[in-house]
Amino acid sequence: MAVLPIRTIGDQVLVRRARDVAEVDGRLDQLIRDMIETMHEAPGVGLAAPQVGVDLRLFVWDVGDGPDVAINPTIVESSGRWRYEEGCLSVPGYFWPIERPRRVLLRYVTRDGEVAEREAEDLLGRVFLHETDHLDGVLLIERLDDEERREAKQRISRERWLGA
Ligand code: NI
């Protein structure tokens, strides 16, 4: 097991669409274990493979009831709206109120290679949406409205440049 370095905003791996996982094998299992350890160490409630520099469509999560993984996930349904103060391990130290659907249905491949579906709402639903976005190269600031996003980008580039 290993804690992997987490890529941060500005890294191109975070803004590319990741590739489908072709095979669930022992190497993938090692990556999953390392990602879970990295997420727990951070600490965070979700972590997508591009955040550790791996161009594959999978993410791990743990909202308090144990870690799990979704391989080649898709959001097949979503409903409701809610705002929540959201952060990201790849944009450390920043939080914004972000509006997303409240309920989602996620379809994915499990660690054992089986197709599964999972309904989730509130925090877990939000994690599914946030991490699926990462696999499409979308960071949380892209979910802000135009003015908020402009301000967020200015603030991040100014503070990173100043070393704050
Ligand atoms: Ni994130």
| Cα 22 to ligand 1 centroid, rounded to whole Å | 23
**Taking the model in full, what pTM does it have?**
0.96
- How confident is the model over 13-19, as a mean pLDDT? 97
Distances (CA, A) of 28 to 35, 76, 84, 116: 10, 24, 32, 18
**Residues in contact with 162: Cβ distance below 8 Å, sequence separation at least 6, in sequence order:** none
| Cα 9 to ligand 1 centroid, rounded to whole Å | 10
Q: What percentage of residues in the chain have a pLDDT greater than 90?
A: 95
Our answer to whether residue 131 is catalytic in this structure is yes
Burial class (CB in 10 A: 0-12, 13-18, 19+), 39: buried
**Domains of the chain, with CATH numbers?**
12-161 (3.90.45.10)
| Cα 10 to ligand 1 centroid, rounded to whole Å | 13
Sign of CA dihedral 85, 66, 138, 54: positive
E strand spans, the chain:
46-48, 58-61, 68-79, 82-86, 96-100, 103-109, 115-121
Give CA 54 to chain center in angstroms: 13
Candidates 131, 142, 148, 159; catalytic one: 131
For the stretch 102-116, pLDDT in tens is 999 999 999 999 999
Q: Which of 83, 79, 110 is nearest to 97 (CA)?
A: 83
